Amino acid sequence: MEASVTPYPVIQKTVAEREGANLGNYEQAASAFDWNVARALLDGLTGGGLNIAFEAVDRHVLHGRGGKAALRWIGRDGAATTYTYEDLRQATNRFASLLASLGVRPGETVFGLMGREPQLYVAALGTLKAGAVFSPLFSAFGPEPIRTRMEIGDARVLITTERLYRRKVATWHTEIPGLRHVLLLGGDDLPEGCLSLEPALARSSPEFQTVATRPQDTALIHFTSGTTGRPKGAVHVHEAVVAHNITGRVALDLHEDDVFWCTADPGWVTGTSYGIISPLTNGCTMIVDHEEFDAERWYRILQDQAVTVWYTAPTAIRMLMKTGAEVAAKYDLSKLRFLSSVGEPLNPEAVVWSKETFGRPFHDNWWQTETGGIMIANYAAMDVKPGSMGRPLPGIEAAVVERTESGVRVIETPDEEGELALRAGWPSMMRAYLNEPERYAKCFRQGWYLTDDLVRRDADGYFWFVGRADDVIKSAGHLIGPFEVESALMEHPAVAEAGVIGIPDPIAGEVVKAFVTLNSGFEGDEVLQRELIGHARKRLGPAVAPRAIAFRANLPKTRSGKIMRRLLKARELGLSEGDISTLESDEKK
């Protein structure tokens, strides 16, 4: 495939922006970095041990910062409730005391199935204090995906709401042998076999001796998004907190006086690593909004809460773009200092739009459930190349490789495509896929962790996402990354979002088909189809441009906001839809 030339200039940071950033310039940061120094930024437990919750909460109280706002929760009506670090310390102690009184032992698993309620955050941290393992689930899951994951994870405790319990758990609750306790938030009429959470917490002690977990003890189980197939349960340990803490500083520019808002669903790894642990270990005030996406509500929160650092996803950014810059202009967003995005490739168009609309670019960064934390980023100290996911964080060695029969071959030539590989050994790396040792072992070769994502690295060391290995299209000898085609389509004013797949073709092997959603005011007719194909041919050349375009009201996405290209393809070809437990928005056509 011809190396594509980005039409977007690098967004250069001013000296003031660079100096405000955490770690000076990239080269300095990378060469001075040492995981032991990162570890020394944390306290550890008196008498030994390391516990994520202690680092996130108690440590700040011990250092005299107990009165500082840790969590500001925005309820449905838009009103904010503040929890200080001391409030969180006591609440999480109560939860840990409750687990201990119920006989839950260190190492046993507590599942959380709840929307963005403060109690979920308390439960996650309280579970860790008790030495137990926390595993969050998307509250939008149906009964079956919840059950499957709880079975895979050998659930001992479930914390959920009365409403979710009745709709999704009640029918099979007693069929899970190991599930001993179900704690319910809310509801007047307590179902049989459940315990009411709030009164139980009120009776529990606000003092608790955090269990002296060791760095390698399991802390979290996160299921992957299931974009490509059956979700995997990635196991993470307490030591991951070292990476959560430092990557927040480096990649998100978190400082103690920041008001940080991570919009990720709490059922997804981002909701834990950066929606709880990273901001709290860095002593920030974090915002949690109870509601789902709404452009005006989001802008109001950014304004009223004086958010300084914002971490969201391309799908949300594209929705904001669709709403229009004039809506953003109604709000005072001058406090926003650093904007960041994860989960999917961020189209260059979106980076440029944000620079125009907010005066600052979105900083794309890349990671996976398996990596536990950000690995590659356009981070604070460096210039942003729109469309690139950035450079490896200090302490992370990344390479472009090709799988060979005996191992891997590292590709040194700039701009050549290959699989993204990371040198194994950073603290937030997954330690297993639950009950799937073979699948886990297959991720590693010659000390490299293989990501299943295709990328290229340019001569400046910036990485560019090409596509998931499964999504890449092979057409007449070309390897086509869906992202490149989607980004080119998005440059057209009519296009809000695009998902691109390969469909079989007798001559080329595969040809490109695009599914497109439109901005308001545009009609999805044949004239526009021809115009979009013409635009793409001009930008990408005839071999790479889509042959066919279909208009859709929306695209199938996972709960974490990722376009499910495999589903577009399965439907196009009339194949089985496979595991769609994480499917969110959808229109079958």
Residues making contact with ligand ATP (CB under 6 A)? 224-229, 231, 342-345, 364-366, 368-369, 389, 451, 453, 465, 468, 560, 562
Closest distance of CB 587 from ligand ATP, Å: 20
- Cβ proximity to ligand ATP: between 55 and 453 the closer is 453
Q: Which does 342 bind (CB under 5 to 8 A by kind): Mg ion, ligand ATP, none?
A: ligand ATP
Q: How far is the CB of 310 from ligand ATP (least distance, A)?
A: 15
The interface partner of residue 468, options being Mg ion, ligand ATP, none and the CB cut-off 5 to 8 Å by kind, is: ligand ATP
User: For residues 67, 72, 75 and 81, what is the CA-based torsion angle, rounded to 10 degrees?
Assistant: 10
Nearer to ligand ATP, 26 or 449 (CB): 449
Q: How far is the CB of 11 from ligand ATP (least distance, A)?
A: 16
Distance CA 452, CA 19 (A): 36
Residue 199 CB, shortest distance to ligand ATP, in Å, is: 36
SS3 355: helix
Report the nearest approach of Mg ion to the CB of residue 78 (Å).
Answer: 35
**Minimum gap (Å) between residue 449 Cβ and Mg ion:** 12
How far from chain centre, in Å, is Cα 79? 26
| Residue (of 163, 109, 165) closest to 132 by Cα position | 109
Beta strands in 248-375 (DSSP E): 259-262, 285-289, 309-312, 338-341, 362-366
Tokens of 463: 């990485």
CB 221 within 8 A of CB 236: yes
With respect to ligand ATP, which residue has the nearer C-beta, 51 or 369?
369
| Residue 4 interface partner, choices Mg ion, ligand ATP, none, CB cut-off 5-8 Å depending on type | none
User: Of 475 and 560, which CB lies nearer to ligand ATP in the complex structure?
Assistant: 560
Q: Judged by CB, which is closer to Mg ion: 224, or 341?
A: 224
- Cα separation values, 328 from 226, 313, 332, 333, 338, Å: 33, 17, 8, 8, 16
412 pairs with which residues across the strands? none
Q: Which residue is at the shortest CB distance from Mg ion?
A: 224
CB 233 within 8 A of CB 223: yes
Helix axes 348-358, 482-490, angle to 10 degrees: 40
Nearer to Mg ion, 224 or 388 (CB): 224
For residue 197, the SS3 value is helix
**Rounded to whole angstroms, how far apart are CA atoms 402 and 410?**
6
The least distance separating ligand ATP from the CB of residue 443, rounded to whole angstroms, comes to: 11
| CB 372 to ligand ATP: min, Å | 10
Q: What is the DSSP letter of 17?
A: H
Choose between 485 and 533: whose C-beta lies nearer to ligand ATP: 485
Going by the DSSP 8-state scheme, the letter that residue 277 receives in this structure is I
**Residues lying near Mg ion in the complex (CB under 5 A):** 224
Considering CB distances under 5 to 8 angstroms, the limit depending on partner class, which of Mg ion, ligand ATP, none binds residue 231? ligand ATP
CB of 436 to ligand ATP, least distance (A): 12
Nearest to 130 by CA among 110, 154, 155, 111: 110
Instruction: Find the DSSP H helices in 307-404.
Output: 314-323, 325-328, 348-358
Q: Toward ligand ATP, which CB reaches closer, 8 or 54?
A: 8
Partner that binds at residue 391, options ligand ATP, Mg ion, none, CB closer than 5 to 8 Å by kind? none
> In 3-state terms, what secondary structure has residue 98?
helix
Is 470 or 491 the residue whose CB approaches ligand ATP more closely? 470
Q: CB under 5 to 8 A by kind: which of ligand ATP, Mg ion, none does 365 bind? A: ligand ATP
Which of Mg ion, ligand ATP, none is residue 344 near (CB under 5 to 8 Å by kind)?
ligand ATP
CB 285 within 8 Å of CB 68: yes
